[in-house]
Chain A
Amino acid sequence: MPHLLAATSMIERVKEFINAVCQPHWFMILSVLGLVIFLRFYRTLTRPAVAGPLAALGLLAFLASCMDENFAKIVTKADNVPIVMMMFAISFVIWLAFRQAAINDENIEAGRPLTEAGADDKVLVWPDLVYIELIALVLCTAFLTVWAIVLRAPLEQPADPNIAPNPAKAPWYFLGLQEMLVYFDPWLAGVVFPGLIVVGLIAIPYIDKNPRGNGYYTFKERPFAISTFLAGFLVLWVLLIIFGTFLRGPNWNFFGPYEYWDLHRPAALLNVEPRDLFWIDIMGLGIPKNFLVRELPGILLIAGYFILGPWILRGLFFRKLYQQMGFARFSIMSFLLLVMLLMPIKMALRWTLNLHYIVGITEWFLNI
């Protein structure tokens, strides 16, 4: 049966290819690229005639992947099932939102009223809304009950502080943060970044002074706000969770979706520090004894990034936005944006230079 063998090896090659493009750098680059393409061509891509086949293709790829033993094992793990549901739910609502945005944007261009227009067009809450709520509640209960019957809540061996599982993973909704630990120390990935995410979210309505797009779906009227939010929410939060859950195995090593979680794969080495690059490779000197002098190049880099960054951003991209926002709002916005960008920057430095820390004052636990 030569053709059957050929088909099997074909499938294996496809799997190997997918395993390869799921590696951290390709995963992130392709995700960002996907988002950019989606936001550029959302009007075409959300048309039912285009989105339908795409969705069918995605579903088919998922179902076909489930025939792989390693893939099926990880997606059917009880606590991972919600993430699979979330992947489908988010894909659907993103389509729903951008389909309506596309229609509204075309309406705005043609001078027609918005789909949500008609402020005086009111209906009574009883019965119109109360019944929708009742139906939603019944469906939700039914869904949850079926879920509870089909899938048992996990219960492993009794807690034992002497036996650490490998990998030890945080609850799934924090796995994006745990994935950040690959690139940043705990004080940033576990404390400062989550804190700034909360502060940044709360700050959104106070720094976004764009009066348009209030109360209806649109993309054209607020491209910057929506692109930034989606880059943060979809790429740096949801996709990192998916990555941390499905593609990180023992020793927090990367494993492709069809790979076996091998306990004996060695952990990655990180050995490049910018202080070595600067003092030894560029200056041809030894490493200074005083650690503040030693880390000066990195400290200057970070300081320059946060002090000059806003001015460069303003000069290159945000002239109009700066006038709209004013100095204080713009400073806060650009600080938050630069913190957010620090993540992909550090990732890229890690992939290309195998860089460990930009600033590495291990004496004070102050590593960036």
Chain B
Amino acid sequence: MTRLGTWVREGQIWGSIFRHGIPRDRRTRAMAILSNVFLHLHPVAIRKSGIRLSFTWCMGGLTFFLFLVEVVTGVLLMFYYRPTVEYAYFDIQGLRAHVTLGLLRELHRWGAHAMVITIWLHMLRVFLTGSYKPPREFNWSVGVILLVLTLLLSFTGYLLPWDQLAMWAITVGSNMARATPLVGSEGPGASFLQIGGVPLVHAGDDARFGLLGGTFVGPAALLRFYVLHCVFIPVVVTVLLAVHFWRIRKDGGISGPL
């Protein structure tokens, strides 16, 4: 076995992928981080106090991991799910009844709830350690946007099972948009926006209409939420995650006393 291992590690294929020896000394351990596109999100060396679990609670890392879980289970769920009023509910029912190892939806839903909790705890940790203070102000702002996007991801996904729970939760949530100042048909100021007595902002063109693609939570809303949930928001989150991680390193790594 050892000889087989040596043979693999000394071969051309292994050597072309990992351009360093087994990470046993300082140099190769540094190389392990530097020469790997994923691992080099990290610096090579890090403050000893910064990796203690009691300091970070590991909540940022877990939030990212849960995001990856959501991506993987989400892609698999997309194989079984059609975002139309005719099929959506019965696809979910079928997923529960017929698909082997039908834990996908459970993993996806509980992972999403867990992600909301871990991102809140991450924010709490960053606040309580004062890690938003200079030079990390901008990265805190990026983090707040990521928090909002996480909630929106969860919110848009909530509609997709198309059961009573989903539809009425989104109805309650999206009714708020009707009250947006100026651009909601029942928001303050909207009644001023009219030309010759014809209102410019009404139930057929206000903020809620834009969100739902209609005046009620119907087929257009389902499709809109599906596209936002599966394509648009995840792409934006991925880009911002890159900025967030890159800025951690650029702002001096994990925080600690100056």
Q: Which residues of A contact B (CB under 8 A)?
A: 79, 82, 85-86, 89-90, 93, 96-97, 100-101, 114-119, 121-130, 132-133, 136-137, 140-141, 144-145, 147-149, 151-161, 163-165, 168-174, 177-178, 185-187, 189-192, 198, 201-202, 204-206, 208, 211-218, 222, 226, 229, 233, 361, 363-366
- Check A114–B257 contact: CB distance below 8 A: yes
Interface of A: prevailing SS: helix
- Check B151–A173 contact: CB distance below 8 A: yes
Min Cβ gap B172→A in Å is: 5
Interface string of B165-187 (1 = CB under 8 A from A): 11111011101111111001011
Q: Determine the chain A residues whose CB is within 8 A of the CB of B199 once the complex forms.
A: none
Q: Is B42 an interface residue (CB 8 A)?
A: yes
29 A-B interface contacts by CB (under 8 A): A86-B117, A116-B47, A116-B49, A116-B257, A118-B48, A121-B47, A122-B47, A123-B46, A123-B48, A126-B29, A129-B46, A129-B51, A132-B51, A133-B61, A140-B62, A144-B114, A149-B106, A155-B93, A158-B162, A158-B164, A159-B163, A160-B164, A174-B151, A186-B176, A190-B179, A202-B140, A205-B134, A208-B133, A365-B190
Q: Determine the chain B residues whose CB is within 8 A of the CB of A217 once the complex forms.
A: 55, 128-129
- Check B154–A191 contact: CB distance below 8 A: no
Segment of B11-19, B119-127, B229-237, B238-246 in the binding face: B119-127
Per the bound structure, the CA–CA distance linking A101 and B176 in Å amounts to 40
Q: Determine the chain A residues whose CB is within 8 A of the CB of B2 once the complex forms.
A: none
Q: Determine the chain A residues whose CB is within 8 A of the CB of B43 once the complex forms.
A: 125
Instruction: Kindly name the residue among A158, A159, A160 whose own CB sees the greatest number of chain B CB atoms within 10 A.
Output: A159
Instruction: Kindly name the residue among B47, B110, B132 whose own CB sees the greatest number of chain A CB atoms within 10 A.
Output: B110
- Check A163–B164 contact: CB distance below 8 A: yes
Q: Determine the chain A residues whose CB is within 8 A of the CB of B65 once the complex forms.
A: 136-137, 140
- Check B39–A130 contact: CB distance below 8 A: yes
Q: A124-B44, A129-B46, A161-B217 are in contact. Are A144 and B129 (CB under 8 A)?
A: no
Q: Determine the chain A residues whose CB is within 8 A of the CB of B57 once the complex forms.
A: 93, 96
- Check B32–A170 contact: CB distance below 8 A: no
Interface string of B102-125 (1 = CB under 8 A from A): 010111111101101100110111
Nearest residue in A to B26 (C-beta to C-beta)?
A124
- Check B110–A82 contact: CB distance below 8 A: yes
- Check A168–B172 contact: CB distance below 8 A: yes
- Check A125–B117 contact: CB distance below 8 A: no
Q: Determine the chain A residues whose CB is within 8 A of the CB of B163 once the complex forms.
A: 154-159
Q: A171-B155, A171-B169, A217-B128 are in contact. Are A89 and B258 (CB under 8 A)?
A: no
- Check B257–A117 contact: CB distance below 8 A: yes
Min Cβ gap A160→B in Å is: 7
- Check A151–B45 contact: CB distance below 8 A: no
Q: Is B137 an interface residue (CB 8 A)?
A: yes
Q: A132-B51, A140-B65 are in contact. Are A116 and B256 (CB under 8 A)?
A: yes
Q: Is B23 an interface residue (CB 8 A)?
A: yes
Q: Is B161 an interface residue (CB 8 A)?
A: yes
Q: Determine the chain A residues whose CB is within 8 A of the CB of B69 once the complex forms.
A: 141, 144
Q: Is B96 an interface residue (CB 8 A)?
A: yes
Min Cβ gap B247→A in Å is: 13
- Check B129–A216 contact: CB distance below 8 A: yes
Nearest residue in A to B190 (C-beta to C-beta)?
A365
Nearest residue in B to A131 (C-beta to C-beta)?
B51
Which of B42, B117, B255 sits near A214, CB closer than 8 Å? B255
Per the bound structure, the CA–CA distance linking A121 and B194 in Å amounts to 66
Per the bound structure, the CA–CA distance linking A174 and B61 in Å amounts to 24
Per the bound structure, the CA–CA distance linking A168 and B116 in Å amounts to 21
The B34-73 residues at the A interface (CB cut-off 8 A) are 39, 42-51, 53-55, 57-58, 61-62, 65-66, 69
- Check A164–B109 contact: CB distance below 8 A: no
- Check A96–B166 contact: CB distance below 8 A: no
Q: Is B8 an interface residue (CB 8 A)?
A: no
- Check B256–A129 contact: CB distance below 8 A: no
Q: Determine the chain B residues whose CB is within 8 A of the CB of A177 once the complex forms.
A: 176
Nearest residue in A to B58 (C-beta to C-beta)?
A136
Q: Is B84 an interface residue (CB 8 A)?
A: no
Q: Determine the chain B residues whose CB is within 8 A of the CB of A133 once the complex forms.
A: 58, 61
Which of A85, A151, A155, A213 sits near B92, CB closer than 8 Å? A155
Q: Determine the chain B residues whose CB is within 8 A of the CB of A122 once the complex forms.
A: 45-48
Q: A126-B39, A205-B134 are in contact. Are A233 and B124 (CB under 8 A)?
A: yes
Min Cβ gap B240→A in Å is: 13
Q: A116-B55, A153-B105, A169-B172 are in contact. Are A191 and B257 (CB under 8 A)?
A: no
Which of B117, B134, B166, B258 sits near A82, CB closer than 8 Å? B117
Known: A133-B61, A161-B167, A214-B130. 18 other contacts (CB 8 A): A79-B165, A82-B113, A96-B57, A116-B55, A129-B46, A155-B93, A156-B165, A160-B164, A170-B172, A171-B169, A191-B179, A191-B180, A201-B144, A204-B132, A211-B133, A217-B128, A365-B186, A365-B190
Q: Determine the chain A residues whose CB is within 8 A of the CB of B164 once the complex forms.
A: 156-160, 163, 165
